[in-house]
Structure 1
Amino acid sequence: MVACSWCWGRRRAADERSVHLPTNPVQPNVTARRVVIPALAASAALLVGLWIWVAQPLPPALLAAGTDPGLVLLDRHGRELRTTRAGDGSRRRWVPLGEIDPDLIAAFLVAEDHRFYRHGGVDLRAVGRAAWSNLRAGRVVSGGSTIGMQLARLLRPVPRSWSGKLQQALWALRLERHLDKQTILEQYLNRVPLGQGAVGVEAGAALYFAAAASEVSLGQAALLAGIARAPSGDNPLVAPRRAGRRREHGLSRLTALGYALPGAAHRAAMEPVIATGGRAAFLAPHFTSQILGWTERRGTPAAGRWRTSLDLSLQEELEAEVRHTIETLARRGARHAAVVVLDNGTGEILAWVGSPDFWADTAGQVDMVVSPRQPGSALKPFLYALALDRGYTPATVLPDVARVYQTATGPYAPRNYDRGHHGPVRVREALGSSYNIPAVELAERLGVPSLLRVLRGAGFASLRRSAEFYGLGLALGNGDVSLLELANGYRALASGGVWRPYRWHALAPGESLEPGRRIAGERSAALVLDILADPVARIPAFGLETPLDFPFPAAAKTGTSRHFTDNWAIAATGGFTVAVWVGNFSGRPMEGVSGVRGAGPLLHRAVLATARRYPPGQLPAPASAGAVPAGICRLSGLRASARCPT
Structure 2
Amino acid sequence: MGKRAWHYARPVFIAAGILVCALLLIDLWAPVDLQPLSTARVVVDSRGEPLRAFADQNGEWRYQVGLDQVSPDYVQTLIGYEDRWFYHHLGVNPLSLLRAAWQWLRHGHIVSGGSTLTMQVARIRYPGHGGIGDKLRQIVRALQLELHYSKDEILTYYINHAPFGGPLQGVEAASRSYFGYPAARLTRAQGALLAVLPQAPSRYRPDRYPERARLQRDKVLDRLVEFGLLSPEEAADAKLEGVAATPPHLKPLAPLLARRLIGRNTTDHRVTAFIDRQLQRRLETLAREQLHQLPQHASLAIEVMEHGSGKVVAYLGSAGLGDMERFGYIDMVTAERSPGSTLKPFIYGMAMDEGLIHSESLLLDAPLAFGDYRPLNFSRGFSGPVSVSHALQLSLNVPAVQVLERLDPAHFFARMQTAGAGLHLPPGATPSLAIALGGVATNLERLLGLYSALGNDGYAIVPRLTPDDPLQKRRLLSPGSAWIIRDILSHRREETTWQQGLAIKTGTSYGNRDAWAIGVGRHHTIGVWVGRPDNAAMTGHYGSYTAVPILRAAAAILPNSGPGLPARPANVSRKAICWPTGQETPQLCDEQRQAWIVDDVIPATFMGSVAQSPLIPNPYLTLRLAGDSGLRTALGCNIASAETTLPVWPAPLQSWLPAKWRTNTRIPPLDPRCKHSAGLLSETPVQIIGLDKKARLKRHATTAEQPLLGFRAVGGQPQWYWFLNGELLESQGDVLKLPMPEPGKYQLAVTDQAGMSDTLEFTVEPEENFR
TM-score by length of 2: 0.46
> Which residue is equivalent to 2:258?
288
Q: Distance in 2 between matches of 1:586 and 1:562?
A: 15
- Quick one: which of 302, 311, 325 aligns to 2:268? 302
> Which residue is equivalent to 2:351?
387
Q: Distance in 2 between matches of 1:84 and 1:337?
A: 24
Letter in 2 for 1:634: W
Shift of 1:425: 1.8
| 3-state SS of 1:339 partner | strand
> Which residue is equivalent to 1:396?
361
Q: Distance in 1 between matches of 2:360 and 2:395?
A: 15
Shift of 1:303: 2.9
**Deviation per CA, 1:47-100, whole angstroms, max 9, x where unpaired?**
xxxxxxxxxxxx9999996445654432223332123456876369xxxxxxxx
> Which residue is equivalent to 2:328?
364
| 3-state SS of 1:350 partner | strand
Structure-2 change in CA distance of 1:89 and 1:581 (3 Å): closer
Q: Is the Cα–Cα contact under 8 Å of residues 84 and 91 in structure 1 kept in the other structure?
A: no
**Deviation per CA, 1:126-170, whole angstroms, max 9, x where unpaired?**
xxxxxxxxxxxxxxxxxxxxxxxxxxxxxxxxxxxxxxxxxxxxx
| 3-state SS of 2:506 partner | strand
| 3-state SS of 1:340 partner | strand
Matched ranges for 1:440-459 at <5 A: 440-459=401-420
> Which residue is equivalent to 2:489?
532
> Which residue is equivalent to 1:9?
none
> Which residue is equivalent to 1:126?
none
Q: Distance in 2 between matches of 1:313 and 1:631?
A: 48
Letter in 2 for 1:574: R
Shift of 1:516: 2.0
- Are 1:351 and 2:314 matched, yes or no? yes
| 3-state SS of 1:596 partner | helix
Q: Distance in 2 between matches of 1:467 and 1:642?
A: 51
Matched ranges for 1:7-156 at <5 A: 66-67=36-37, 71-84=41-54, 90=62
Structure-2 change in CA distance of 1:533 and 1:334 (3 Å): farther
Matched ranges for 1:367-516 at <5 A: 367-391=331-355, 392-406=357-371, 411-463=372-424, 468-505=429-466, 514-516=471-473
Letter in 2 for 1:618: G
| 3-state SS of 1:424 partner | strand
Structure-2 change in CA distance of 1:337 and 1:67 (3 Å): same
Letter in 1 for 2:322: W
Letter in 2 for 1:564: N
Q: Distance in 2 between matches of 1:328 and 1:449?
A: 40
Q: Distance in 1 between matches of 2:460 and 2:258?
A: 24
| 3-state SS of 1:631 partner | strand
Q: Distance in 2 between matches of 1:600 and 1:467?
A: 34
**Deviation per CA, 1:248-305, whole angstroms, max 9, x where unpaired?**
xxxxxxxxxxxxxxxxxxxxxxxxxxxxx97343221011111111213xxxx3134x
Whichever structure has more strand as a proportion of its residues is 2
Letter in 2 for 1:422: S
Structure-2 change in CA distance of 1:424 and 1:83 (3 Å): same
Letter in 2 for 1:343: E
Q: Distance in 2 between matches of 1:71 and 1:445?
A: 53
Shift of 1:640: 5.3
**Deviation per CA, 1:21-44, whole angstroms, max 9, x where unpaired?**
xxxxxxxxxxxxxxxxxxxxxxxx
Whichever structure has more helix as a proportion of its residues is 1
Q: Distance in 1 between matches of 2:498 and 2:490?
A: 9
Q: Is the Cα–Cα contact under 8 Å of residues 451 and 525 in structure 2 kept in the other structure?
A: yes
Q: Is the Cα–Cα contact under 8 Å of residues 287 and 319 in structure 2 kept in the other structure?
A: yes
Structure-2 change in CA distance of 1:68 and 1:620 (3 Å): same
Shift of 1:329: 2.5
- Are 1:279 and 2:249 matched, yes or no? yes
Q: Distance in 1 between matches of 2:367 and 2:62?
A: 67
- Quick one: which of 557, 580, 594 aligns to 2:505? 557
- Quick one: which of 584, 600, 608 aligns to 1:639? 584
Shift of 1:495: 0.7
> Which residue is equivalent to 1:630?
575
Letter in 2 for 1:390: E
Letter in 1 for 2:351: A
| 3-state SS of 1:491 partner | helix
How large is the RMSD of aligned CA atoms in angstroms?
3.3
Q: Distance in 1 between matches of 2:31 and 2:428?
A: 57
Q: Distance in 1 between matches of 2:373 and 2:561?
A: 45
Letter in 2 for 1:492: A
| 3-state SS of 2:526 partner | strand
| 3-state SS of 1:475 partner | helix
Q: Is the Cα–Cα contact under 8 Å of residues 85 and 91 in structure 1 kept in the other structure?
A: no
Shift of 1:374: 0.6
Matched ranges for 1:194-233 at <5 A: none
Shift of 1:424: 2.5
Structure-2 change in CA distance of 1:466 and 1:495 (3 Å): farther
Q: Distance in 2 between matches of 1:581 and 1:603?
A: 9
| 3-state SS of 2:487 partner | helix
> Which residue is equivalent to 1:329?
294
Gapped regions of structure 1 (runs ≥ 5): 1-58, 93-204, 208-276, 540-544
| 3-state SS of 2:577 partner | coil
> Which residue is equivalent to 2:119?
none
Letter in 2 for 1:529: R
Q: Is the Cα–Cα contact under 8 Å of residues 580 and 602 in structure 1 kept in the other structure?
A: yes
Shift of 1:492: 1.9
Q: Distance in 1 between matches of 2:578 and 2:341?
A: 28
Shift of 1:326: 2.0
| 3-state SS of 2:293 partner | helix
- Are 1:578 and 2:526 matched, yes or no? yes
Letter in 2 for 1:565: R
Q: Distance in 1 between matches of 2:435 and 2:401?
A: 9
Q: Distance in 2 between matches of 1:533 and 1:640?
A: 29
Q: Distance in 2 between matches of 1:314 and 1:565?
A: 28
Gapped regions of structure 2 (runs ≥ 5): 1-28, 65-166, 170-246, 593-771
| 3-state SS of 1:290 partner | helix
Shift of 1:337: 0.8
- Quick one: which of 244, 261, 277 aligns to 1:312? 277
Q: Distance in 2 between matches of 1:434 and 1:335?
A: 24
**Deviation per CA, 1:539-575, whole angstroms, max 9, x where unpaired?**
4xxxxx35x8643511100000111111000100120
Give the count of matched residue pairs: 383
Q: Distance in 2 between matches of 1:425 and 1:373?
A: 29
Matched ranges for 1:243-262 at <5 A: none
Q: Is the Cα–Cα contact under 8 Å of residues 381 and 528 in structure 1 kept in the other structure?
A: yes
Structure-2 change in CA distance of 1:531 and 1:415 (3 Å): same
**Deviation per CA, 1:157-188, whole angstroms, max 9, x where unpaired?**
xxxxxxxxxxxxxxxxxxxxxxxxxxxxxxxx
Shift of 1:313: 1.4
Instruction: Give the fraction of aligned pairs with identical amino acids, expressed as a percent.
Output: 29
Letter in 2 for 1:600: V
Larger radius of gyration: 2
Q: Is the Cα–Cα contact under 8 Å of residues 575 and 615 in structure 1 kept in the other structure?
A: yes
Letter in 2 for 1:560: T
Structure-2 change in CA distance of 1:440 and 1:552 (3 Å): closer
Q: Distance in 2 between matches of 1:640 and 1:502?
A: 45
Structure-2 change in CA distance of 1:517 and 1:466 (3 Å): farther
Structure-2 change in CA distance of 1:593 and 1:88 (3 Å): closer
